[in-house]
Structure 1
Amino acid sequence: MAMDPAPPLATIAAALRRERDRAGLSLTELARRAGIAKSTLSQLESGVGNPSVETLWALGVALGVPFSRLVEPPTAAVRVVRAGEGPRIRSEHADFSATLLAAGAPHARRDVYVMELEPGAVRLAEAHTPRSVEHVVVAAGRMRLGPETDLVELGPGDYATFPGDTPHRYEALAPGTFAVLVMEHP
Structure 2
Amino acid sequence: MSSHPEPATQAATDPARQDLARQVGERLRSLRQAAGMSLGTLAEVAGIGKGSLSEIENGARSATLGTLYALAGALGVPLAALLSGVPGSRVASPGVVALLLDVSVEDGWTVEVYRLRIEAGAEHRSIPHGPGVVEHLLVTSGRARVGRVGAEVEVGVGEAAQWVSDVPHRYQALGPVAVDSVLVIRSPGPAAGSL
TM-score range, shorter chain: 0.3 to 0.5
Return the TM-score normalized by structure 2. 0.44
Return the TM-score normalized by structure 1. 0.46
Higher strand share: 2
Task: Give the greater-gyration-radius structure (CA).
Answer: 1
